[in-house]
Chains A and B, each alone.
Chain A
């Protein structure tokens, strides 16, 4: 069972955060016999605890510690204290996620080479490529149980999908299907097959959707090599005179400051908290924060070009029934500059319950234009747009010295301005999404602005050259050999695809590397 490790045990790997990156890394290392202490700021919630109720679930799972925003993105106006809609719980945002699990396309690993210079964009090629990642993607798809891989069937299409598919086919789109989803479409004797409850965003009560909360984490704990300390908020990473990290300071469930020693520290707190922690760990030796000799910690924040299109029809759809993300159009996920922008985007069905629809359809709107849309809620279909956005140096996470959290630590300020490429792509995607629904008789369409970010990427990016980024091809920081970044903040560029399969594949690969280096005595 779960191993308790001593605070003074300096042989352990400390992992900060237990989401897609941290949760997988913790299990993979534990399976290889490595001793791991995973520190998670949130509490532990399992399928029996999840609730089929949007706001109640938000209260249970969401990260609501203070954050601030700036920049021209609409989120800064509509949700100024909530730049991201992500989770603070064991399992991280894999409790919330919809499960769309797509590989990057080969060209997307090499955005700078493929797109050339894009003014205002801080583009860079990843130091790794599709061929190198292929075997890790194989392992990730197996772990997550991704439909349409490994011979597993796709999920059946729900009402929302059927509307979407009919419109897509009418427009001549060809790559249209019910997606590659980390949701069981078959019975593997472990996770229950999807029961089409909806509420995928609120935590899957059947455990049909993969989440590290009830798969990797208990599997790791069962080895006896992993201890997960929940409600443990890491405040600072510590280092010695040689510049090696030696452990972390964290606030435990009772608010007491503790110090855990470590041989290696892996940061996986999602793309706001990971850079915030590195910046908050500034010392005399590292006045700009840990691993920040490049000055890139916190920069190049990406959130995917997103938006939604909802549409009403003259007859019922009842889009909330069944999987939240029930299908995809992939034809626009290609690099074709003749459309007026570089990179591509995916269209994926999405539904929100009535309470969230009221909050997100057109934040701040009121009056009959808005309320008649909700009057037709039953007749509504919806899709989400997810495309590659441009990394910009000025889109960044910084410390807001004027605002502190419950521990007195400066909070993250998230600054974001849309790049012209993002705007051109969004407008193209709105037009295509609207066309899909108009092709099947939409009576009204709603090009809905982006929600608080769900995909947060790039703030500790991977680079070949230490000047250009924070971590190397293994997620190891360029500056400090025993400090790793293990979450989505490693992303050099965002690609058009939902990020989690790639985060998981990178974590499996990183575990293999760390365990190998440890046994070689190199770490």
Chain B
């Protein structure tokens, strides 16, 4: 729906190459963000595509789990992609990019190592924006039932009759 914008003076090619450098597989265009492997795809509603991509990366950098795919981070922050929430998020991401430029990067996504982004985030971690995103992720990410198996967590057990016959005391390495 949105025509692709290349904010902050970046060309679309730069944007794409940043995504490629990141290895997160973002392709941005036509308002459509999709993983390179098409594991997930999502049309941006109210946020700029670049903003959304940055937000997803920020979410991963706050709670990085290498075995958790992008689709979970996308879902965790997609609630911000509404007309009501968008202005504050655009402003927050603009500030994040400004912080990145202050450290010599073209933008937050224009970084190679996670440690560079973590360094940028440390600089803004007391901001209301950072705390809003971090706080929201605690439930937004970890309360997704589909994410639990990645951590080995089994969720509800009553329906299976509890663990009385399913290994409540099966530890064998002590």
By a beta-carbon cutoff of 8 Å, the part of chain A in contact with chain B is: 51-53, 55, 156-159, 162-163, 166, 194-199, 205-206, 315-318, 320-322, 353-355, 357-359, 364, 366-368, 370-371, 374-375, 377-378, 440
Choose among A194, A199, A316, A368 the residue that contacts B64 (Cβ–Cβ < 8 A). Answer: A368
Do B143 and A55 touch across chains, with their CB atoms under 8 A apart?
A: yes
Contacts of B167 in A (CB 8 A): 159, 318, 321
Q: In the assembled complex, how far is the CB of residue B142 from the closest CB belonging to chain A, in whole angstroms? A: 4
Q: In the assembled complex, how far is the CB of residue A204 from the closest CB belonging to chain B, in whole angstroms? A: 10
Do A163 and B174 touch across chains, with their CB atoms under 8 A apart?
A: yes
Do B174 and A162 touch across chains, with their CB atoms under 8 A apart?
A: yes
Choose among A53, A206, A367, A440 the residue that contacts B155 (Cβ–Cβ < 8 A). Answer: A53
Q: In the assembled complex, how far is the CB of residue B57 from the closest CB belonging to chain A, in whole angstroms? A: 14
- The residue in chain A whose Cβ has the minimal distance to the Cβ of B60 is A371
Separation of A322 and B151 alpha carbons in the complex (Å): 18
- Known pairs A367-B118, A371-B63; A163 contacts B134 (CB<8 A): no
For this complex, 18 residue pairs linking A to B, each with C-beta atoms less than 8 Å apart, are A158-B163, A159-B170, A163-B171, A195-B161, A197-B158, A198-B157, A315-B173, A316-B152, A317-B171, A322-B168, A322-B169, A354-B153, A367-B118, A370-B63, A374-B65, A374-B151, A377-B153, A378-B153
Contacts of B158 in A (CB 8 A): 52, 197, 199, 205-206
Separation of A321 and B170 alpha carbons in the complex (Å): 10
Do A196 and B164 touch across chains, with their CB atoms under 8 A apart?
A: yes
Do B164 and A195 touch across chains, with their CB atoms under 8 A apart?
A: yes
Contacts of A375 in B (CB 8 A): 65, 67, 151
Choose among B139, B161, B166, B171 the residue that contacts A355 (Cβ–Cβ < 8 A). Answer: B139
Q: In the assembled complex, how far is the CB of residue A481 from the closest CB belonging to chain B, in whole angstroms? A: 47
Contacts of A194 in B (CB 8 A): 164
* Cβ-closest 10 pairs across A and B: A378-B152, A195-B162, A52-B156, A197-B162, A322-B168, A358-B142, A196-B168, A354-B153, A321-B163, A159-B171
Choose among B63, B118, B138, B163 the residue that contacts A322 (Cβ–Cβ < 8 A). Answer: B163
Q: In the assembled complex, how far is the CB of residue B170 from the closest CB belonging to chain A, in whole angstroms? A: 7
Contacts of B121 in A (CB 8 A): 366
Do A358 and B174 touch across chains, with their CB atoms under 8 A apart?
A: no
Q: In the assembled complex, how far is the CB of residue B146 from the closest CB belonging to chain A, in whole angstroms? A: 12
Contacts of A358 in B (CB 8 A): 138, 141-142
Q: Tell me if B154 counts as interface (CB < 8 A to partner A).
A: yes
- Known pairs A52-B155, A318-B167, A322-B169; A354 contacts B148 (CB<8 A): yes
17 additional contacts (CB under 8 A) given A318-B167, A368-B64: A158-B168, A158-B169, A195-B161, A195-B164, A196-B163, A198-B157, A199-B157, A206-B158, A316-B171, A317-B171, A318-B154, A318-B171, A355-B139, A355-B142, A358-B141, A366-B63, A366-B134
Dominant SS among interface residues on chain A: loop
Q: Tell me if B46 counts as interface (CB < 8 A to partner A).
A: no
Q: In the assembled complex, how far is the CB of residue B139 from the closest CB belonging to chain A, in whole angstroms? A: 6
Contacts of A55 in B (CB 8 A): 139, 143
Contacts of A205 in B (CB 8 A): 158
Choose among B65, B141, B161, B168 the residue that contacts A159 (Cβ–Cβ < 8 A). Answer: B168
By a beta-carbon cutoff of 8 Å, the part of chain B in contact with chain A is: 62-65, 67, 118, 121, 125, 134, 138-139, 141-143, 148, 151-159, 161-164, 166-171, 173-174
Q: In the assembled complex, how far is the CB of residue B21 from the closest CB belonging to chain A, in whole angstroms? A: 20
Separation of A52 and B174 alpha carbons in the complex (Å): 29
Contacts of A156 in B (CB 8 A): 168-169
Contacts of A364 in B (CB 8 A): 134
Contacts of B171 in A (CB 8 A): 159, 162-163, 316-318
Choose among B156, B166, B168 the residue that contacts A53 (Cβ–Cβ < 8 A). Answer: B156
Contacts of A378 in B (CB 8 A): 151-153
Q: In the assembled complex, how far is the CB of residue B61 from the closest CB belonging to chain A, in whole angstroms? A: 8
Separation of A364 and B135 alpha carbons in the complex (Å): 8
Separation of A353 and B153 alpha carbons in the complex (Å): 7
Do A367 and B142 touch across chains, with their CB atoms under 8 A apart?
A: no
Q: In the assembled complex, how far is the CB of residue B25 from the closest CB belonging to chain A, in whole angstroms? A: 20
Do B62 and A321 touch across chains, with their CB atoms under 8 A apart?
A: no
Q: In the assembled complex, how far is the CB of residue A433 from the closest CB belonging to chain B, in whole angstroms? A: 18
Q: In the assembled complex, how far is the CB of residue A361 from the closest CB belonging to chain B, in whole angstroms? A: 10
Contacts of A157 in B (CB 8 A): 169
Task: Select the residue from A159, A315, A317 with max chain B CB neighbours within 10 A.
Answer: A159
Separation of A368 and B155 alpha carbons in the complex (Å): 24
Separation of A206 and B142 alpha carbons in the complex (Å): 27
Contacts of A353 in B (CB 8 A): 153, 155
Separation of A315 and B170 alpha carbons in the complex (Å): 12
Contacts of A440 in B (CB 8 A): 174
Do A166 and B142 touch across chains, with their CB atoms under 8 A apart?
A: no
Choose among B62, B125, B151 the residue that contacts A354 (Cβ–Cβ < 8 A). Answer: B151
- The residue in chain A whose Cβ has the minimal distance to the Cβ of B161 is A195
Contacts of A163 in B (CB 8 A): 171, 174
Separation of A166 and B62 alpha carbons in the complex (Å): 36
Contacts of A357 in B (CB 8 A): 142
Contacts of B141 in A (CB 8 A): 358
Separation of A157 and B143 alpha carbons in the complex (Å): 28
